[in-house]
């Protein structure tokens, strides 16, 4: 099998766009974007200045580099000056679910190392941390300040042009005839140079236009066969991928006369499998989710590690205190985004984040940002009875316990005993005292125990959302594995629904999540549950970003409420691929035919029996 990872480490990046909702892009991506932006702004400024004054050599202003959609709004830039400290983030803020009041002091911006060590932070830690928690809105103004005199001067110096022309414009009375001759020769040389340059630019433009219109011919069958024996190198394959996408995006004009769209798609799939290292089955599945251009963004994003993120354990500390403690150790960090008040992104750290005293003391969990989402959707309350049906290694269980403030009862189940060792260790380390751990096949619920206020089913899945963490997902599953998995997911989701008490005073909710992006494991499972359990309906997840789930897919129609589910993608949200659906259970009984049935083992049925007796 081919692929960039397991072949040559060759970086041929295709564009990755980031939706504005990400809140954050990685520092590295941001730095690159900022660098490009500043460079383009400088060039534009110089060109504008030249055309406005009419002086200087006439040069075509370079076209601005394409900016990732919407991200500039979110970019933090070089601060103008420090703003006064705002009200500290209080415990109540964390708990009330309201956004804490933040200062928008720009010093916490991305241009500076997000948070520097103690000594560099000045003497008011509170001030620095307020800035660190500041929102991003101030950023949009910044590009204007980048058009400062400095940048113009830089450009002038680089050009060497404007300055020289000023020489000629000056009223220098000392000009001699010999000088004039020299100057005039210089002027002629400049003109010739300019003309040559203009010609070259014109030629480049013409070439670009022709190549954009060029018809791209697919390789013949013989060539395809030959490539099986002697594959092209990755650069050639990558170029062919781009060519095919160009044709597919303007098919009627650019198609080769003897080839159908399917021919192009087949070659594209072969090339993408080879280039990115996926098996054909999975490639086909993933290509169905996106336009070809977006699929490339998705595959590219899977080649890049997601930022390391941690969740503050609010049973033991507050985010600002944790941030300060880690900063004191030289950790470079920032809040993940506005959507979470407990998450931090770690850019770099001189010590392993899994070995700091704060980690050992259970002040945080190393946890993917996407993994916060199902717990936020579930919204467990104090004193409730909550089940995490597939809980190991416990990222979501421990988050639930933190939201419940160690009250009520948190049942953490997993079918895998080995994985439960990590679950137990995390429960201890994080100081969770409301959890009991059990080791059942989730399908045995609610016979084991039922009547929960809320149930989380973070289902076992193919992991197509976490390929950047585990590249083996690209090749380790075929059609049989998928049908076994989806069958298990369907059985588990019915058990999860049946384990909830619809009459719960505070809850009655079920959240189904996967770290996979395939429709078979997501919408199709949820749709199945809706069809088998008319006593549940989908409700809003409460997550204010993510794309709506599919309501139809390749001829399959799903219930219209599937639009309430949420999909998250690495290329769009800079987090692992993820799916979240939230159900409300409306009755403990279901109607089958013309009979009312209480699903086996549910708390409701036990009550019924007791009544009879
Ligand atoms: C996606 S992981 C859960 C991650 C966990 N929720 C967390 O946040 O740390 C899926 C889990 O499902 C468990 N599992 C697989 N089959 C199961 C079953 N039939 N019943 C219960 N758990 C199962 C696996 O052992 C695995 O730990």
Mutation test residue for ligand 1: of 368, 376, 392, 444, the one with most atoms within 8 Å of CB: 392
Given this model, what pLDDT does residue 187 score?
77
Nearest CA to ligand 1 atom 19: 441
Decide if 515 is catalytic.
Answer: yes
CATH class, 369-612 region: alpha beta
Given this model, what pLDDT does residue 224 score?
87
The helix (H) or strand (E) run that includes residue 365 is: strand 364-366
Q: b/e string for 144-156 if b means 16 or more Cβ within 10 A?
A: eebbeeebbeebb
Q: Which phi-psi region, left, alpha or beta, contains residue 151 (left: φ > 0; alpha: ψ -120 to 50)?
A: alpha
Given this model, what pLDDT does residue 257 score?
77
Question: What is the distance in A from the centroid of ligand 1 to the CA of 511?
Answer: 14
Start-to-end CA span in the chain (Å): 65
Given this model, what pLDDT does residue 447 score?
95
State CA 396 to chain mean position distance.
19
Given this model, what pLDDT does residue 464 score?
98
Pocket residues: Cβ below 6 A from ligand 1: 371, 389-396, 414-416, 419, 441-443, 458, 460
Tens of pLDDT, residues 532-565: 999 999 999 999 999 999 999 999 999 999 999 9
Angle of helix 292-301 relative to helix 261-276, nearest 10 degrees, comes to 0
Question: What is the distance in A from the centroid of ligand 1 to the CA of 253?
Answer: 50
CB-based contacts of 606: which residues, under 8 Å, 6+ apart?
450
- HSE (CB half, 13 Å, CA atoms) of 532? 16
CATH class, 309-366 region: alpha beta
Given this model, what pLDDT does residue 229 score?
85
Q: Which phi-psi region, left, alpha or beta, contains residue 593 (left: φ > 0; alpha: ψ -120 to 50)?
A: left
Given this model, what pLDDT does residue 125 score?
36
Per DSSP, the three-state class of 188 is helix
The helix (H) or strand (E) run that includes residue 343 is: strand 343-348
Question: What is the distance in A from the centroid of ligand 1 to the CA of 487?
Answer: 15
Given this model, what pLDDT does residue 362 score?
98
Q: Name the burial class of residue 468, with classes exposed (0-12), middle (13-18) and buried (19+) by CB atoms within 10 angstroms of its CB.
A: middle
Question: What is the distance in A from the centroid of ligand 1 to the CA of 472?
Answer: 18
Question: What is the distance in A from the centroid of ligand 1 to the CA of 458?
Answer: 7
Residue 302 CA to residue 305 CA, distance in Å, equals 7
Nearest CA to ligand 1 atom 25: 416
**Cα separations in angstroms, 355 against 312, 315, 332:** 15, 19, 16
Helices (H), 214-232: 221-229
Beta pairing partners, 335: 344
DSSP 57-119: ---PPPPPPPPPTTHHHH-----SSPPPP-PPPPHHHHHH-SPPP----GGGSSSS-SS--GG
Tens of pLDDT, residues 286-331: 999 999 999 999 999 999 999 999 999 999 999 999 999 999 999 9
Mutation test residue for ligand 1: of 371, 391, 395, 414, the one with most atoms within 8 Å of CB: 414
Nearest CA to ligand 1 atom 10: 460
Q: Which residues are annotated as a binding site for S-adenosyl-L-methionine?
A: 390-396, 414, 441, 458
- HSE (CB half, 13 Å, CA atoms) of 19? 16
ipTM over 0.95: yes
Nearest CA to ligand 1 atom 1: 460
Give 10-residue mean pLDDT values along the chain (613 residues).
44 34 38 47 42 32 29 31 33 34 29 31 40 36 30 34 32 49 76 80 58 72 86 89 90 83 93 96 96 95 96 98 98 97 97 97 98 98 98 98 98 98 98 98 96 98 97 95 97 98 97 98 98 97 97 97 98 97 95 75 52 47
Q: Which residues are annotated as a binding site?
A: 390-396, 414, 441, 458
Given this model, what pLDDT does residue 10 score?
36
């Amino acid at each position: 099998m081919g692929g960039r990872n397991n072949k040559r480490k060759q970086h041929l990046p295709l564009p990755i766009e980031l939706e504005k909702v990400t809140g954050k892009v990685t520092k590295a991506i941001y730095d690159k974007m900022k660098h490009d932006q500043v460079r383009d702004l400088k060039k534009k400024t110089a060109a504008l200045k030249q055309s406005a004054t009419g002086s200087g050599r006439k040069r075509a202003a370079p076209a601005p580099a394409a900016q990732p959609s919407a991200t500039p709004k979110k970019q933090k830039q070089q601060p103008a000056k420090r703003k006064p400290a705002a009200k500290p983030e209080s415990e109540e803020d964390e708990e009330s679910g309201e956004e804490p009041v933040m200062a928008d002091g720009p010093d916490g911006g991305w241009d500076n190392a997000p948070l520097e060590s103690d000594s560099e932070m000045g003497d008011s830690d509170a001030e620095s941390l307020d800035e660190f928690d500041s929102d991003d809105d101030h950023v949009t103004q910044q590009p204007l300040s980048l058009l400062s005199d400095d940048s113009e001067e830089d450009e002038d110096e680089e050009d060497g042009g404007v300055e020289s022309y000023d020489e000629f414009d000056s009223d220098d009375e000392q000009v001699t005839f010999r000088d004039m001759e020299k100057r005039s020769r210089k002027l002629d040389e400049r003109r010739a140079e300019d003309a040559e340059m203009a010609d070259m630019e014109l030629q480049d433009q013409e070439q670009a236009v022709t190549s954009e219109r060029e018809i791209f011919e697919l390789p013949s069958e013989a060539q395809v066969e030959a490539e099986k024996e002697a594959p092209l190198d990755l650069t050639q394959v990558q170029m062919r991928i781009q060519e095919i996408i160009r044709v597919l995006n303007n098919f009627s004009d650019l198609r080769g006369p003897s080839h159908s769209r399917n021919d192009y798609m087949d070659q594209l799939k072969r090339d993408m499998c080879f280039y990115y290292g996926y098996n054909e089955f999975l490639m086909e599945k993933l290509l169905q989710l996106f336009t070809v251009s977006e699929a490339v963004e998705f595959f590219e994003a899977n080649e890049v590690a997601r930022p390391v993120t941690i969740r503050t354990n609010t049973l033991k500390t507050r985010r600002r205190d944790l941030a300060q403690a880690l900063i004191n150790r030289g950790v470079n960090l920032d809040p993940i985004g506005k959507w979470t008040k407990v998450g931090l992104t770690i850019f770099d750290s001189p010590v392993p984040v899994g070995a700091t005293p704060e980690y050992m003391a259970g002040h945080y969990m190393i946890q993917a940002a996407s993994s916060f989402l199902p717990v936020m959707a579930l919204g467990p309350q104090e004193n409730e009875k909550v089940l995490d049906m597939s809980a190991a290694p416990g990222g979501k269980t421990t988050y639930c316990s933190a939201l419940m403030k160690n009250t009520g009862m948190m049942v953490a189940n997993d079918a895998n005993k080995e994985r439960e060792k990590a679950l137990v260790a995390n429960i201890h380390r994080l100081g969770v005292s409301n959890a009991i751990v059990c080791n059942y096949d989730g399908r045995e619920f609610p016979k084991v125990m039922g009547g929960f206020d809320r149930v989380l089913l973070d289902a076992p899945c193919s992991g197509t959302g976490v390929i950047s963490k585990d590249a083996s997902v690209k090749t380790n599953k075929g059609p049989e594995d998928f049908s076994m998995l989806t069958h298990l997911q369907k059985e588990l989701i019915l058990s999860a629904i049946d384990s909830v008490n619809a009459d719960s005073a505070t809850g009655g909710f079920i959240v189904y999540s996967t770290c996979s992006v395939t429709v078979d494991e997501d919408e199709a499972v949820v749709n199945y549950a809706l069809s088998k359990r008319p006593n549940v309906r989908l409700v809003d997840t409460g997550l204010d970003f993510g794309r709506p789930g599919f309501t139809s897919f390749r001829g399959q129609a799903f219930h219209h409420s599937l639009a309430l589910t949420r999909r998250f993608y690495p290329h769009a949200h800079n987090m692992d691929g993820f799916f979240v659906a939230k159900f409300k259970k409306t009755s403990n009984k279901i109607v089958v035919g013309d009979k009312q049935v209480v699903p086996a083992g549910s708390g409701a049925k036990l009550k019924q029996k007791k009544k009879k007796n």
